[in-house]
Structure 1
Amino acid sequence: MPGEGLAVTDLRPGEEEALNALYNETFNFSRSLAAWRWKFQKIPLRDLVVVRCLRRGGELVGQGASLPMRFRVLGREVVAGQMVDFGVRPSVRFDLALYRLNRILLKGLRETWMAQGMPFIYGFPNERAYRFHKRIAGTRDFLWIPVWTRWLNPLGRFLGRVRSKSLLAAGRLVSRASWCRAAQAARARAAGGTLRFFSLPEPDERLDRLWEKAAPAYGILSYRDRRQLAWRYFEKPGRPYDVWLLADELGPLGYAATSVHEEDVRVGYMVDVFGEPPWTRTVVHRTLERLALSGCDLVRCLAVESSVLGRGLADLGFSRESQQVPMIGLIFDSALEKESFFDGRNWHVTYGDFDGV
């Protein structure tokens, strides 16, 4: 019978592999168990992680979770919850009893978040999850964040979707040569200067110094201190990121985290960019140089259009795509119910704020 034996429970010991398999089935993904453990068991503030399961007759058929994320919000230090992994097994997606059970799951999670003192919770859902959260959880739109792109390969944009490998390779040679000449000219002009942009093999105290110095210049952003960045970029299984630091003789000025993916073309993602606002444009430009020299055809980045990063991307020739990523959520602290919380100019959001790249 539909609805028979339905229950909402916590994750039970030893079920991690089954829950991760359910995630892969639900989202047509191939996340490893090591990546699941990194995400849920090695995150800072792991004691505040919440994982809830939907069961039918004892079988796992759905899940919903939240990760604790430290934030600076208009001068306040808070911990907010990021909604992740919400979904049900495709074979039972249209079971109305499960639809009602999801309401129970979300009600329980909401009570947990409020008991933990979280002023707000948020998420970056795909299209299906966006409709689900709006309808079932009553979430609100916080932001719509555009994706920005810039071609590095001068031939890439003219080849259409069916791309010639030989022409792409030729374009990469042209791109590398162009960026090499520009980099050499820049170094000649800056001869005797101390500005450096270099790979950071391990997280160190310079990331804490950068966070303490730069964070007060931003209105709303998640933590980017050494502890958080170590988990996000250096400890993820397979470590698919490079972290680059911009510094002078007085200390760090900014960083970028990048990841290169082979798609229709070779895409370099600026997963994260952060630093003192006057140096943001320099960090982006130096990152473009590194991605060009590594043979990337196209660069993608995520940023609020009116933010410091968004303006820097526009200045450096990035184009705003039609694609936008929604940021939704619920507010539990009435002190945040003001225009400044929803003003995109106050937010700093990148791909690094969720496990999407």
Structure 2
Amino acid sequence: MCECVWVGHGSLCLVGAEGEWGFLGERIADYVAIHFSLEEFLAQAPRDDGSFVGPASAILVTFEWAMVQPSLLFDRAHQFLSEGGFLAISIARDVNEELRMRKMFYLRSLAEHHGFRVCDPTCLGFPRRIVAFRKSGASRWRLVPLNVTHTEGCLSLFHKVFGTEMSRELWAWKYGDGRGRAMIACRGKEVVAHYGATTRRISFLGQETQALQICDVMVDPKERGVMTRRGVFFQVASAFLESYFGYENDHLLAYGFPNERAMRVAEKLQLYAEVGRVVEIRWPALPYRPHVATVLRRLWRVREEERSLGDLWSKMKRDLAAGILVMRDSNYLHYRYFEHPCFDYVVLVVANRLGGRLRGLIVLRRERDECKLVDLVAPLREIPLLIDHARRQVTRWGLPVLTAWVSATYAGFFRSPGVYKTGTEIPIPTNVWTEGPRFEELQDRWWFMMGDTDFL
């Protein structure tokens, strides 16, 4: 039997299976003030005065690696524990040792974000397989994973930071149906920082996997004074990366479209490194006249040409087998361009006059003084043909210019008479805070266009 130094000094909260703690002896039951299942514990909400059941002098938790998001566990435990209280975790040994050590490393890192310090379990009377932490004081901010109860607070923060409203429909489009991941920081009940992402399937060097597109990174203006590792931006960003690319590893990569200032701050904090650039290019509209061999027509539903679109995507993916790009299959096209709650996209296909074989797909978005070439799906050799059709369509709409974003690495495929770069460039970041693909594997590999953003 182990002699636990905290037994008898306060109440004990037991979370999960009691049997995992049998090594403490039968007398442990004398000190259990409350026993939760893991789900019950994580679902606990504060009372009207902000307090939780407790306080407890110690919390014993049992869970399997995949059962819980650590930030949520640490947040609940911090609320329940008295000052100086202990959190002890028994984790099922259902993974290989290398993966177990990786997860343990990030578990300890995440604990520090939540006001805990790592303890030597043997000093508390536990065997070394137990992970032990001590509550070291109140955190300046509460960091918690995003859930639906935070929606209103996040929308309010968005308006405060960007000076414009985001609709609930657009928020759900980004973060709903299991796509969204985010870490938020709260001061009291107010959301003061948000670091979010949405899941995207990607082709990585010819292999299908998952990535997270970083979006809606925002910090309340009142909290921006410290852009160091003590500041709230670093706290939410590093906790997000440690949670979803460290402790969890369902996604291979993170990417986004930060402005230059945000990129420099993240580089200084050693969160990001630059692996490429997106450039803006423009073409003047061309006089409209029909093509002899091909026609341009609008696509109203993906299922009208589902098989042909799949063929176009397969050829594009094959051409970019040495690159990295978001999967542009029919499911993605339907979600991205036909279900968007705010923007009206015009999806067009270029087809042979004879036989009707599709040569490519383009996505355009009309604005007051220009037309955006948002996306395309085609073998790379067909890009000049698609651009030519797009420039003629722009004339039919009475607009003077077609504009596009494209990764600098692949800008050569978009050369055609009259094209010019505007000087606008957007850095392409990658996460270097946690483990992942080597920097060299990612340098100048990404294929991006406007449609790869969440805001165009």
Q: Is 1:294 equivalent to 2:397 in the alignment?
A: yes
Q: Is 1:122 equivalent to 2:255 in the alignment?
A: yes
Q: Shift of residue 21 of structure 1?
A: 2.3
Counterpart of 2:387 (choices 284, 302, 308) is 284
Pick closer, same or farther for the CA change 1:28–1:131 going to 2, 3 Å: farther
Q: Shift of residue 150 of structure 1?
A: 2.1
For 2:287, the equivalent position in structure 1 comes to 179
Letter of the structure 2 residue corresponding to residue 277 of structure 1: L
More helix by share: 1
Q: How many residues align?
A: 309
State percent identity of aligned pairs: 21
- Contact (CA 8 Å) 2:183, 2:239: kept in 1 or not? no
Distance 1:87 1:93 in 2: 10
Q: Shift of residue 102 of structure 1?
A: 3.1
For 1:93, the equivalent position in structure 2 comes to 224
Q: Structure 2 length as normaliser, TM-score?
A: 0.63
Larger Rg: 2
Counterpart of 2:316 (choices 211, 214, 224) is 214
Q: Is 1:350 equivalent to 2:454 in the alignment?
A: no
For 1:201, the equivalent position in structure 2 comes to 300
Q: Which runs of 5+ in 1 are unaligned?
A: 153-177
Pick closer, same or farther for the CA change 1:259–1:98 going to 2, 3 Å: same
Distance 1:112 1:127 in 2: 26
Distance 2:319 2:261 in 1: 35
Q: Shift of residue 242 of structure 1?
A: 0.5
1:285-312, CA deviations, whole angstroms, 9 ceiling, x for partnerless residues? Answer: 10111111101122210112441xx224
Q: Shift of residue 277 of structure 1?
A: 1.4
For 1:57, the equivalent position in structure 2 comes to 188
For 1:256, the equivalent position in structure 2 comes to 362
Q: Shift of residue 255 of structure 1?
A: 1.0
Distance 1:251 1:336 in 2: 40
Q: Shift of residue 239 of structure 1?
A: 3.9
Counterpart of 1:313 (choices 405, 414, 421) is 414
Distance 1:95 1:337 in 2: 28
- Greater RCO between the two (CA within 8 Å, min separation 6)? 1
For 1:322, the equivalent position in structure 2 comes to 423
Distance 2:413 2:437 in 1: 31
Q: Is 1:134 equivalent to 2:134 in the alignment?
A: no
Letter of the structure 1 residue corresponding to residue 452 of structure 2: D
Counterpart of 1:145 (choices 273, 278, 298) is 278
Distance 1:213 1:64 in 2: 35
For 1:33, the equivalent position in structure 2 comes to 168
DSSP-derived class of the 1:179 partner:
coil
Q: Structure 1 length as normaliser, TM-score?
A: 0.79
Q: After the TM superposition, which of the residue ranges 330-339 and 196-205 deviates more from structure 2?
A: 330-339
Pick closer, same or farther for the CA change 1:30–1:98 going to 2, 3 Å: farther
For 2:339, the equivalent position in structure 1 comes to 235
DSSP-derived class of the 2:454 partner:
coil
Counterpart of 1:225 (choices 324, 329, 333) is 329
